[in-house]
Amino acid sequence: MPEPKLKEKRWSQNLEATLFKKWQDEKLYGQENMKEGPVFVVDTPPPYPSGRWHVGGALHFCQIDMISRYFRMKEKNLWFPVGIDRNGLPIESRVEKDFGIKAHEVPREEFLKKCRETLNKYESNISNIMNLTGLSVDWSKVYRTDSPKYRTLTQSTFIELWNKGLIYEDTKPNNWCPGCKTTLADAEVEYRSQKGKLVFINFKLKEGGVIQIATTRPELLGACQAITVHPTGSAYSKEIGKTALVPIYGREVKIIGREETNPEFGTGAMMVCSYGDQEDVKMFREFSLPETIIIDEAGKMTKAAGKYEGLSAKDAKKAIIEDLKSQGFIEKIDEVDQNIPICWRSKDDIELIALPEYYLKQVDFVDDVKKISDDIEFHPEKSRQLLLDWLGAVNQDWPISRRRFYGTPVPIFNCGEHGKFVPEPGKYYETWNMTLPCPKCNKPAKGDTRVLDTWMDSSISALWVSGFKRDEKFFKRSFPTFLRPQGKDIVRTWLYYTLLRVYHATGKKAFNHVWISGHIVDKKGFKMSKSIGNVVYPEPLIEKYGADSLRFFSASEAKLGSDIRVSEERIAGAAKFIQKLYNVSRFISMFSDSKKPEKLEPADKWILSELGKLTRLATRGYDDMDLFIPANEVRTFVWEKFAPHYIEMVKGRAYDGDESARYTLHTVLRQVLKLLSPISPFITDYVYRKLYEKTLQFENFDSFEENQSLPTTKLIEFNESVWAKKKAENLSLRDEVALKVPERLQAYEKDLIKMHNLRQ
Ligand SMILES: [Zn+2]
Ligand SMILES: [Zn+2]
């Protein structure tokens, strides 16, 4: 028996860390290794370090790494940067919880410091997992969205938008989360369906009689300023112009005719309050009604609610229904299905509150964003619809200021006398903590105390990674970026906002490809959450099975766009395949490689043709960014063709030193390692370096001709029939058996006789 070149008997995941260190020492993923010409930049999703990373985050990045590794092999100049998103509410909530403090109640500088320290702690957990899983990111240029440099870019783009008149300040009712104590953009609003009460209330008319309205928000009665009915289509149309008395409060309100009031809904009469929903907002503007703030920023009833002041909106609703009942104002209460707007982060009910905020114009640009997105390839193509649906729903401008703390400060200064102004772009302004001389009177003007919506930062990641305003030469080579990989849950936010912001800044599309993945869920298909207790962490799985196995699992488990159910049994299955690949490699490592002989034996030609087919299918999958295809094609090839059929057939020749067999064994192994390298980079690079003395991470796939006329199925069927016969006759695989090689397989006769010990 020849000595195998691969000394270790089994693949061990302990080899992964050493190899990862080697890659870092060799600086494989930096820009210094790139040739001239265009650079393919991945617009990496910067993860948010506000808690321990679960397996979902890890697998998501593994998949992005696989795509990056494939295109690096194919195009060479692929750059996979890494960023960390560190602005915004999640870290503030985390710090409030961890330290038992309230952001509004401690000095701002002290609170920001705690945020920074907590971010650092969780960031090191994320970067550790990124390294354990073998990501081919460039750590030499890691960016953080809260660094003064990054925030300078956010502020500079703000200042330019302001100067172009695309940002304005306005006081209009907006989504307000009482839990997070901040304004939310429409993109951050989710809906929860629930059973609600539709309350039918009788309003007395000053002129005599009653008008009945149906409402799900009786707690807003104190802010009721009008009643609308359809001008002609309702039984109440004749009451238009009369005056109704608001129950409990006794205030007089007008009955107004309005085309949009649906005579079929409820009683056909609607009360108009500030603010039940966006429709109320419209009506207040339309009829110039006086606005009453009845719910405050904490979600509590204000003075305007009278005796209900201080109650939460929910409790006020209960109390007022009781009072209306006892005073005889309620006709009836129906149960209805409701869609309640809630905060996407804290899940609190959203209220509409009018506060002055800055807005970025987006309604006027929906068509432009749609047009540039037509020129972007989506993977899978059907995920394009998620963006189109959202574009169809955008109907007001984006509120971009937040009354929070840990974010990029709004770069606006206010001279009491001469109004607001923006400073010069290109510098970082900690506005809340500074003044600038007013350009008109030179007196110190105060900086704005608000911060920007964190999506204002993350939506320029594509500009940051391509060097916009920082490295014009690199920007020319790399913009638009090559790829935006992301989850489907942030299409309305990160994807859409990036397209909008980059269009505002450059007039162009931000990227050429968008890859949208499904969710990573538990083995029963449920979202992982700490409160349910079904969270899976990646570190123990990596320790037990190795990163390559985890990665192979994530690629082979689900079609692109589908959810991946994390199951330890399936990961263990992937680990078996990785071991199988090692065993095959070790076997082949017994034989020395050979250059291509002039004439190849038929069995060798056959497997090379099968390798051609495998390469074609795997390449197509990789090009579509659907990792499911290459992972499964390679596994099937190795496990069901190459190892059991081909290797068994040519073993004999290989031991005899046959050139054709040795050449083919190594050629197939080299190609299989390359095909699997993006998915399981550790074992493939390890074996390739041992046998072929260099890394395979920059090697192209080889191409092989396919010959459709070869009898693959026949060959497999014949082998299986021989094994079955030996089993039935209680013979070992080495035992001789009398069996003729079929006519169609004559070309392989010599190999088959040796393989099965056939007696002719
Ligand atoms: Zn919230
Ligand atoms: Zn001034």
> Is 81 a residue whose pLDDT tops 90?
yes
Token pair listed for 276: 């039940």
Token pair listed for 642: 């190459």
Mean local confidence (pLDDT), 264-271: 89
Interval between CA 352 and ligand 1 midpoint (Å): 13
pLDDT of residue 331: 93
> Is 142 a residue whose pLDDT tops 90?
yes
> Is 344 a residue whose pLDDT tops 90?
no
- What are the pLDDT digits (tens) for 413-432? 999 999 999 999 999 999 99
Distance (Å) of CA 296 to CA 3, 178, 304: 79, 8, 10
Interval between CA 113 and ligand 1 midpoint (Å): 23
Interval between CA 442 and ligand 2 midpoint (Å): 6
Interval between CA 412 and ligand 2 midpoint (Å): 13
Classified as helix, coil or strand, 533 is coil
The answer to whether the beta carbons of residues 759 and 737 sit under 8 Å apart is: yes
Mean local confidence (pLDDT), 447-454: 96
Interval between CA 93 and ligand 1 midpoint (Å): 10
- Band of residue 395 on the pLDDT scale cut at 50, 70, 90: confident
pLDDT of residue 3: 93
Query: Token pair 């309050």 is at which residue?
Result: 273
Q: Tell me the pLDDT of the chain averaged across its residues.
A: 94
The residues, ordered by sequence, that sit 6+ positions from 616 with a Cβ below 8 Å of its Cβ are 706
* Ligand with an atom nearest the CA of residue 420: 2
The answer to whether the beta carbons of residues 515 and 547 sit under 8 Å apart is: no
| Distance from C-alpha of 384 to C-alpha of 516, rounded to nearest angstrom | 9
* Ligand with an atom nearest the CA of residue 414: 2
| Distance from C-alpha of 582 to C-alpha of 683, rounded to nearest angstrom | 8
* Ligand with an atom nearest the CA of residue 435: 2
DSSP for 470-491, written as a single string = T-HHHHHHH-SEEEEEEEGGGI
* Ligand with an atom nearest the CA of residue 348: 1
User: Other CB atoms closer than 10 Å to residue 63's CB: what's the count?
Assistant: 22
Interval between CA 428 and ligand 2 midpoint (Å): 22
Q: How far is CA 468 from the centre of its chain?
A: 23
Least confident of 95-104, 345-354, 489-498, 722-731: 345-354
User: Is 199 buried (19+), middle (13-18) or exposed (0-12) by CB count in 10 A?
Assistant: buried
Interval between CA 422 and ligand 2 midpoint (Å): 13
| Distance from C-alpha of 607 to C-alpha of 617, rounded to nearest angstrom | 15
pLDDT of residue 552: 98
Interval between CA 634 and ligand 2 midpoint (Å): 70
* Ligand with an atom nearest the CA of residue 88: 1
Widest distance between CA atoms in the chain: 113
Interval between CA 343 and ligand 1 midpoint (Å): 5
- What are the pLDDT digits (tens) for 213-227? 999 999 999 999 999
Interval between CA 444 and ligand 2 midpoint (Å): 8
Nearest C-alpha neighbor of 289 from the set 278, 277, 275: 275
* Ligand with an atom nearest the CA of residue 176: 1
Interval between CA 569 and ligand 2 midpoint (Å): 69
User: Amino acid identity, residue 668?
Assistant: V
Nearest C-alpha neighbor of 301 from the set 292, 326, 250: 292
Interval between CA 104 and ligand 2 midpoint (Å): 30
| Distance from C-alpha of 175 to C-alpha of 297, rounded to nearest angstrom | 11
Interval between CA 734 and ligand 1 midpoint (Å): 70
pLDDT of residue 594: 95
User: Which position has the higher pLDDT, 295 or 646?
Assistant: 646
| Distance from C-alpha of 683 to C-alpha of 619, rounded to nearest angstrom | 20
> Is 278 a residue whose pLDDT tops 80?
no
pLDDT of residue 531: 80
Backbone angles phi, psi at 718, to 5 degrees: -65, -50
Mean local confidence (pLDDT), 88-106: 91
Residue 741 gets which letter from DSSP? P
User: Other CB atoms closer than 10 Å to residue 7's CB: what's the count?
Assistant: 9
Interval between CA 437 and ligand 2 midpoint (Å): 8
Percent of the chain with pLDDT over 70: 100
Token pair listed for 472: 């014009």
pLDDT of residue 354: 82
Nearest C-alpha neighbor of 85 from the set 56, 109, 57: 57
Q: What is the pTM of this model?
A: 0.89
| Distance from C-alpha of 295 to C-alpha of 309, rounded to nearest angstrom | 9
pLDDT of residue 123: 94
The residues, ordered by sequence, that sit 6+ positions from 317 with a Cβ below 8 Å of its Cβ are 217, 218, 219
> Is 76 a residue whose pLDDT tops 90?
no
Interval between CA 490 and ligand 2 midpoint (Å): 42
> Is 137 a residue whose pLDDT tops 80?
yes
Classified as helix, coil or strand, 343 is strand
pLDDT of residue 219: 94
Least confident of 9-23, 131-145, 167-181, 366-380: 167-181
| Distance from C-alpha of 698 to C-alpha of 738, rounded to nearest angstrom | 50
- What are the pLDDT digits (tens) for 348-391? 999 888 888 999 999 999 999 999 999 999 999 999 999 999 99
pLDDT of residue 754: 95
Interval between CA 492 and ligand 2 midpoint (Å): 40
Interval between CA 19 and ligand 1 midpoint (Å): 44
Q: Strand ranges (DSSP E) for 416-480?
A: 419-421, 435-437, 444-447, 451-452
Interval between CA 415 and ligand 2 midpoint (Å): 5
- Band of residue 188 on the pLDDT scale cut at 50, 70, 90: confident
pLDDT of residue 286: 81
- Band of residue 263 on the pLDDT scale cut at 50, 70, 90: confident
Interval between CA 95 and ligand 2 midpoint (Å): 38
User: Which position has the higher pLDDT, 289 or 607?
Assistant: 607
Interval between CA 188 and ligand 1 midpoint (Å): 9
The β-bridge partners of 758 are: 737
CA 323, 329, 331, 334 dihedral sign is: negative
Interval between CA 166 and ligand 2 midpoint (Å): 23
| Distance from C-alpha of 564 to C-alpha of 59, rounded to nearest angstrom | 9
Query: Token pair 């010990």 is at which residue?
Result: 757
| Distance from C-alpha of 667 to C-alpha of 315, rounded to nearest angstrom | 74
| Distance from C-alpha of 560 to C-alpha of 339, rounded to nearest angstrom | 31
The answer to whether the beta carbons of residues 580 and 640 sit under 8 Å apart is: no
3-state helix, strand, coil in the chain (%, to 5): 45, 20, 35
Classified as helix, coil or strand, 41 is strand
Q: How far is CA 248 from the centre of its chain?
A: 50
| Distance from C-alpha of 28 to C-alpha of 41, rounded to nearest angstrom | 15
- What are the pLDDT digits (tens) for 615-673? 999 999 999 999 999 999 999 999 999 999 999 999 999 999 999 999 999 999 999 99
The β-bridge partners of 174 are: 353
Interval between CA 543 and ligand 1 midpoint (Å): 37
* Ligand with an atom nearest the CA of residue 438: 2
pLDDT of residue 293: 85
pLDDT of residue 143: 97
- What are the pLDDT digits (tens) for 304-318? 999 999 999 999 999
- What are the pLDDT digits (tens) for 554-590? 999 999 989 999 999 999 999 999 999 999 999 999 9
Interval between CA 457 and ligand 2 midpoint (Å): 30
Least confident of 257-261, 281-285, 335-339, 677-681: 281-285
